[in-house]
Structures are given as structure tokens and as C-alpha cells.
Structure 1
Amino acid sequence: MAEIVNLRQARKQKARDEKVRAAEQNRALHGRSKAEKERDRIAADKSEKFVAGHRREKPGDPDHL
């Protein structure tokens, strides 16, 4: 037989779980040292330059229609 669920309590528990998940993400994003942030920014810049350097067509190229 199915388990009886109080929808009000289930809704509140789901909201609590979502708050915990959001708090974990914020701790991961904002709870880093300056060196860690700088390292991640450099890695992102490097990967962006790598992708941009391997494009077949340049963004400002007039022949690229």
C-alpha cells in the first residue's frame, strides 16, 4: 500500500533541501581564497583563448557570410 504523505510537510522539506543545496553552491563559489579565485580565472582565460584560437572563421572577417 502507498505511504501517506503530508503535502505541506513535503513542500517545506523540499524548500529546506533546496536552501541547503544553494548554500553549498555559495560556499563553493564565495568561500575561496584570493589565490584560488585567481587560479580559476587564469584557467578560464586560457581555455577561452584556446577555443578562440581554433575557430575556423574570425568574428570580424567580411568574407564570413
Structure 2
Amino acid sequence: MTAPINLNQARKARAKAQAKATAAENRVKFGRTKAEKSLADARRDKASRDLDASKRDED
């Protein structure tokens, strides 16, 4: 005969494992390091400056 299991604990453990899996997927999907974010910001700022510098002044 097998040992009885607590269904409440099993349900909570399964939910916790699923939440961890979802969190791991979200880290891969949405997560960027601070360095990556700052590099993207710097590139966006430079592109904006370059675009503004190449505009012609029309009077």
C-alpha cells in the first residue's frame, strides 16, 4: 500500500512549479539587462541627433 498524499499540498506544488515555468519564459521573452537597455537608449538618441543634424533649414 502506498503512503497517502495531501492533495492540497500537491495542488499548491503543481501551481508553484507552473508559476516558475511561466516566470522563466517571461524572463527570456521580456528580460533585458540594464546594459542592453542603456545601449538601446544611446543608439536611439544618436539616431535622433543624426536625423536632426541632417535636416535642411527652409526659410
TM-score by length of 2: 0.50
Unaligned runs of 5+ in 1: 36-65
Greater RCO, 1 or 2 (C-alpha within 8 Å, sep 6+):
1
Uncovered stretches (5+) of structure 2, i.e. residues with no partner: 40-59
RMSD of aligned alpha carbons? 1.8
Count the aligned residue pairs: 35
More helix by share: 2
TM-score with structure 1 setting the length: 0.46
The structure number with the bigger radius of gyration is 2
Deviation at 1:14, TM superposition (A): 0.4
What does the per-residue CA deviation read over 1:6-65, in whole Å, with 9 as the maximum and x for residues that have no partner? 001100110011000000000000013468xxxxxxxxxxxxxxxxxxxxxxxxxxxxxx
- The alignment-based identity, stated in percent, is 40
- 4+ runs deviating over 6 angstroms: none
